[in-house]
Structure 1
Amino acid sequence: MLRRSLAVVLVVVLTVLAWQPAQAAAWSRAFYWGVATAGYQSEGSAPDSNWSRYVARSGEVDPYGNAVDFRHRYAEDIQLAAGMGVNTFRFSVEWARVQPRPGVWDEQELAYYDDVVRHIRDAGMTPMITLNHWVYPGWVADRGGFADPRTVGDFLAFTEKVVQRYRNVLWVTFNEPVAFLSQELKIGALNPLQIPLWQADVVLAHRRAYDLIHRLDPGAKVTSNQAFYAGFNPLTDLVVMDQIRDKLDFVGLDYYYGVSLDNLTALNAISGDLWKIKLQPEGIYDALRYYANRYPNLPLYIVENGMPTDNAQPREDGYTRETALRDSIFWVQRAKADGINVIGYNYWSITDNYEWGSYRPRFGLYTVDALTDPSLTRRPTAAVPAYRDVIANGGVPEGYRLGQAPATCSLVDFPLSCLAPPNPSGPLAHLG
């Protein structure tokens, strides 16, 4: 009896030991260095969707034109990313493009995305694919979007159609669901009374999509990235993230702006003057620490981070894209050194693009004058060699001097960010 019990214990121990390396190996990169883009914002040739309809009827937005024509220039943009040493490329599959009508799948457009993925893999990069970056087909809009429960089943059919074509992908189901909600209200696709219906359907759609993705590809990694609203995430997380925390393989986090006692410029986001916001790159540490405490068993990934300028003009505060990039990576390294399990960083974005009604805010590593340059030439900013150097060296070096000092009493994750601010003199982790 004792011998049999010992044998059972030995089998269990050996099974656990054998299982652990397999789980660790499921993350294919020591660190994911990425760039990001999104379908409607960059592709051009826009099909009928909630957003193409809004732009067509609104007199207060820039004409969409052909965006930056990623639809026909994806090979070029993917090579630009590869030239920086990037190992991860995030893009979205446009549901409106591949399913123009109920039950109708456009095989030519599906083949287009097949070729995008092939180019990404041929360049040695991991695809990160977003299934919903705020855009859905016009026929779904006619039904009421995600406030109609039928959309859950339609979205799952779309998810299955896409996921069954690709393996070993990092998946994002919904991009910034709370921001998605606010955009739906802004463009009139949703009224406030429908918010509870929308919330229930988006939560259900993610939960079922998570299970579906893992059934089709057990090795896949799935998230729904959350925008970080300095000081408000304990509330915004209640809307979706807390409802899906058991259906996440990692926490995707988008961090752009901070708030502090000496910096309330984030109020410029209300008017859309994003370039007037004074950045707080140290807040990326606070945001990572916040989610490490809120969801302690999940790895963290900065899915979006970047800096806006006004039509590619120098910022009034003199802060440059390359310095902001290095400063942000510095704070990611500090977080890693302090034991926070951060596994990746994506820069938003690979090129300038259509920022939901305007080409004026420029976030691109490569700038593109979409309204004035018919050739849509990609012109590198000084952040391109900076990012290449950062990736090659696994971060900024020890002894790096910050281009911008931390703010006074950060309110990014109040009160912790004010009472226990990150230490700029601490060690830096090598990010791989």
Structure 2
Amino acid sequence: MDPFTPPADSSLWCKNFLLGAATASYQIEGAVNEDGRLPSIWDTFSAVPGKVLAGDTGAVACDHYHRWEADIEMLAGLGLEGYRLSIAWPRVMDAAGAPNRKGLDFYKRLLNRLKEKGITTFVTLYHWDLPQHLEDRGGWLNRETAYRFADYVDLMGRELAGTVDAWATLNEPWCSAYLGYGNGHHAPGLANQRFATQAMHHLLLAHGLAMPVLRANDPASQKGIVANIGRGTPNSDSAADRRAAHRFEVQHNAWILDPLLKGTYPQDLFELWPGTEPLVLDGDMRIIASPLDFLGINYYFRTNVASDGAQGFRDVPLEGVERTQMGWEVYPDGLRDLLIGFKDTYENLPPIYITENGMASDDEVIDGRVDDPQRISFLKRHLAAVDGAIKAGVDIRGYFLWSLMDNFEWAFGYERRFGVVHVDYSTQKRTVKRSAELVAKFLKERRERG
């Protein structure tokens, strides 16, 4: 057996378990000034010296806007069954809210080709590239942005109905709110804890407003949202450290999942961050808690934490553990434990797709090949964790590798390589890594088994 293939009793052999790969518009498309695309907050942010490693930007990225046909052939050639992509809001609407036909036509061609190839399409409507003109009016701190998002979703639902199997309204609102408005690590680069909680509320409101619009415009598709989750473990068995680990998971997981699945914010959150309660209007929580057809889950690592001596927590990095190029600990059990915990916590937990899971490594092309043994081991162990959660009763329908190809990794620029396909950014040559070859081999064997 090769170093990737799951054991014979794994749920992954079920032909109904979808296995695909994911990307995001700003990370791969490039062509930021072409065919009527407007500036996004990431164009603005990455142009500020010191914000992105090596001064990198997404101006060219993987040049997918011009190379999409070959990229789809590559995806199909690997036998991947699903493709999760995102739409660039600044590419499909002008500042007045009118459609940009050239941008829309790009996505129509892309999605139609994917359907011709028999590839299941998961489309994320917001993967962080907010139009800059909306940020100029307050961005996600401005409640009006939630309504502008609903207008954008209305256009996408009407224009792309029938080509999308599953819509996700938002990708990782935790990152948009906390990294964008709470600590300034991501665009738009603001750093105020009160801003983070208000931005989160407007992001979730935008999601809730979008759900009935999608149901009306594209009833045959699935509708959901994607959340990144984090496992927090206590540095010791002390009550203070166990409380710290609980509060880590409150701010990383329950902050998003409680409003979606319970219609309330976790009170522990405002004990951790006192005085940061967002302005919530009557009816908002009911809108946010609109029923989901699926929940997308993104998972990468765990954080070991201790009490900070007050109400919060502090990171205590463990020594002697396996880490990726990002410095993140490889901890597959965290994914299994969180999924099982969500099943026990949320009575109305919808079906789950693992919409991102993967790792960065410093991959090189040597004699025309890219060997990435750590990634192969990482994927096998995390898929085993997913299988463990399925066997514990969690309804998990599929798994998307992050990412199809190396790309612009936000504040880390092009140094960190998450792809199962290597990209030479000077030539745009794609080289399939060994991990992708083994995934393709498994999928071929699964199809042959019937």
For normalisation by structure 2, the TM-score amounts to 0.74
Partner residue of 2:333 out of 248, 267, 282: 282
Q: Does the CA-based 8 Å contact 2:332-2:382 persist in structure 1?
A: yes
* DSSP-derived class of the 2:129 partner: coil
Cα shift readout 1:39-98 (whole Å, capped 9, x = no counterpart): 001100124011100111233423224001111111222222212221111111100111
Map of 2:438 onto structure 1: 386
* DSSP-derived class of the 1:360 partner: coil
Q: Does the CA-based 8 Å contact 2:40-2:90 persist in structure 1?
A: yes
Q: Does the CA-based 8 Å contact 1:177-1:224 persist in structure 2?
A: no
Distance in 2 (CA, whole Å) between partners of 1:77 and 1:104 is 29
Partner residue of 2:118 out of 116, 124, 146: 124
Task: Quote the offset at 1:260 in angstroms.
Answer: 6.0
Map of 1:179 onto structure 2: 175
Map of 1:136 onto structure 2: 130
Task: Quote the offset at 1:34 in angstroms.
Answer: 1.3
Please state if 1:58 is matched with 2:59.
Answer: no
AA partner of residue 178 (structure 2): S
Instruction: Say if 1:78 and 1:295 are closer, same or farther in 2 by CA, change over 3 A.
Output: farther
Q: Does the CA-based 8 Å contact 1:39-1:91 persist in structure 2?
A: yes
Superposed, 1:30-41 pairs within 5 Å as 30-41=16-27
Distance in 2 (CA, whole Å) between partners of 1:275 and 1:195 is 24
AA partner of residue 195 (structure 1): A
AA partner of residue 283 (structure 1): G
Partner residue of 2:410 out of 356, 360, 364: 356
Superposed, 1:62-81 pairs within 5 Å as 62-64=55-57, 65-81=59-75
Task: Quote the offset at 1:191 in angstroms.
Answer: 4.6
Between stretches 48-57 and 385-394, larger displacement belongs to 385-394
Instruction: Say if 1:393 and 1:296 are closer, same or farther in 2 by CA, change over 3 A.
Output: farther
Superposed, 1:18-417 pairs within 5 Å as 30-46=16-32, 47-61=38-52, 62-64=55-57, 65-164=59-158, 165-167=160-162, 168-185=164-181, 186=184, 187-192=187-192, 193-231=194-232, 232-245=248-261, 246-247=289-290, 248-259=292-303, 265=317, 274-297=325-348, 298-310=350-362, 312=364, 320-357=374-411, 358-370=413-425, 373=426, 375-394=427-446
Distance in 2 (CA, whole Å) between partners of 1:173 and 1:72 is 26
Cα shift readout 1:143-188 (whole Å, capped 9, x = no counterpart): 1111112111211111011111223521111111111112312144
Instruction: Say if 1:330 and 1:196 are closer, same or farther in 2 by CA, change over 3 A.
Output: closer
Map of 2:275 onto structure 1: none
Task: Quote the offset at 1:369 in angstroms.
Answer: 2.6
Task: Quote the offset at 1:343 in angstroms.
Answer: 0.5
AA partner of residue 289 (structure 1): I
Q: Does the CA-based 8 Å contact 2:324-2:330 persist in structure 1?
A: no
Give the gaps of 5 or more residues in structure 1.
Answer: 1-28, 396-429
Distance in 2 (CA, whole Å) between partners of 1:313 and 1:145 is 41
Q: Does the CA-based 8 Å contact 2:363-2:422 persist in structure 1?
A: no
Superposed, 1:1-16 pairs within 5 Å as none
Aligned residues: 358
Task: Quote the offset at 1:250 in angstroms.
Answer: 1.6
Map of 1:13 onto structure 2: none
Map of 1:424 onto structure 2: none
Task: Quote the offset at 1:393 in angstroms.
Answer: 4.4
Task: Quote the offset at 1:140 in angstroms.
Answer: 0.7
Q: Does the CA-based 8 Å contact 1:41-1:355 persist in structure 2?
A: yes
Cα shift readout 1:108-131 (whole Å, capped 9, x = no counterpart): 110000011011111101111111
| Identity across the alignment (%) | 28
Task: Quote the offset at 1:218 in angstroms.
Answer: 2.1
Q: Does the CA-based 8 Å contact 1:93-1:129 persist in structure 2?
A: yes
Q: Does the CA-based 8 Å contact 2:56-2:414 persist in structure 1?
A: no
Map of 1:9 onto structure 2: none
Instruction: Say if 1:282 and 1:194 are closer, same or farther in 2 by CA, change over 3 A.
Output: closer
For normalisation by structure 1, the TM-score amounts to 0.77
Instruction: Say if 1:363 and 1:380 are closer, same or farther in 2 by CA, change over 3 A.
Output: same
AA partner of residue 27 (structure 2): Q
Cα shift readout 1:225-273 (whole Å, capped 9, x = no counterpart): 1111112333333433221224321221111113469x96589xxxx98
* DSSP-derived class of the 1:275 partner: coil
Map of 2:244 onto structure 1: none
Instruction: Say if 1:237 and 1:284 are closer, same or farther in 2 by CA, change over 3 A.
Output: closer
Distance in 1 (CA, whole Å) between partners of 2:92 and 2:198 is 26
* DSSP-derived class of the 1:57 partner: coil
Give the gaps of 5 or more residues in structure 2.
Answer: 1-14, 33-37, 233-247, 262-288, 306-314, 367-371
